[in-house]
């Protein structure tokens, strides 16, 4: 049972490039989330999804897009990367009716 898997673990992007952060979970969780964590800060919610085909904005959605075509996958798309998007990105999932969030190992992104 792999849990929540994020790829890649590390990435360096140039300003203006785009990329997709991948997140997949094998626990059949309906709820999935993307957070970012800047140094010395807590996690901020970017986007979330309560099920396949349903997504919604969190606290800091600007510059990002998501899709949820399957229960398992919740990719995060960065278009036109900016230095302000340098951060550690965490994907998480929760089983409906439960409260424990399971986090992936994170993706450390640097935009230069």
Partner 1 sequence: QKEVEQNSGPLSVPEGAIASLNCTYSDRVSQSFFWYRQYSGKSPELIMSIYSNGDKEDGRFTAQLNKASQYVSLLIRDSQPSDSATYLCAVSLTGGGADGLTFGKGTHLIIQP
Q: Which of 7, 31, 73, 86 binds partner 1 (CB under 8 A)?
A: 31
Distance of closest approach, residue 76 Cβ to partner 1, in angstroms: 14
State phi, psi for 70 to the nearest 5 degrees: -135, 165
SS3 83: helix
Distance of closest approach, residue 19 Cβ to partner 1, in angstroms: 20
SS3 84: helix
Distance of closest approach, residue 79 Cβ to partner 1, in angstroms: 22
Question: Does 75 contact partner 1 by CB under 8 A?
Answer: no
Q: Give the list of residues 6+ apart from residue 101 with CB closer than 8 angstroms, or none.
A: 33, 92, 93, 94
Q: Which of 19, 27, 45, 52 binds partner 1 (CB under 8 A)?
A: 45
Q: Say if residues 24 and 72 touch (Cβ distance below 8 Å).
A: yes
Q: Which residues make up the interface to partner 1 (CB under 8 A)?
A: 31, 33, 35, 40-45, 48, 50, 58-59, 90, 94, 96-101, 103-106
């Amino acid at each position: 049972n792999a849990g929540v898997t994020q790829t890649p673990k590390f990435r360096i992007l140039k300003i203006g490039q785009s990329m997709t952060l991948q997140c997949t979970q094998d626990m059949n969780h309906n709820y999935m989330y993307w957070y970012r964590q800047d140094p010395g800060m807590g996690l901020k919610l970017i986007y979330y999804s309560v099920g396949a085909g349903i997504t919604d904005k969190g606290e800091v959605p600007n510059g990002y897009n998501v899709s949820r075509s399957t229960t398992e996958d919740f990719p995060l798309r960065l278009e036109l990367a900016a230095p302000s998007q340098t951060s550690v990105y965490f994907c998480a999932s929760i089983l409906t009716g439960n409260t424990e969030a399971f986090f992936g190992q994170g993706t450390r992104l640097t935009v230069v």
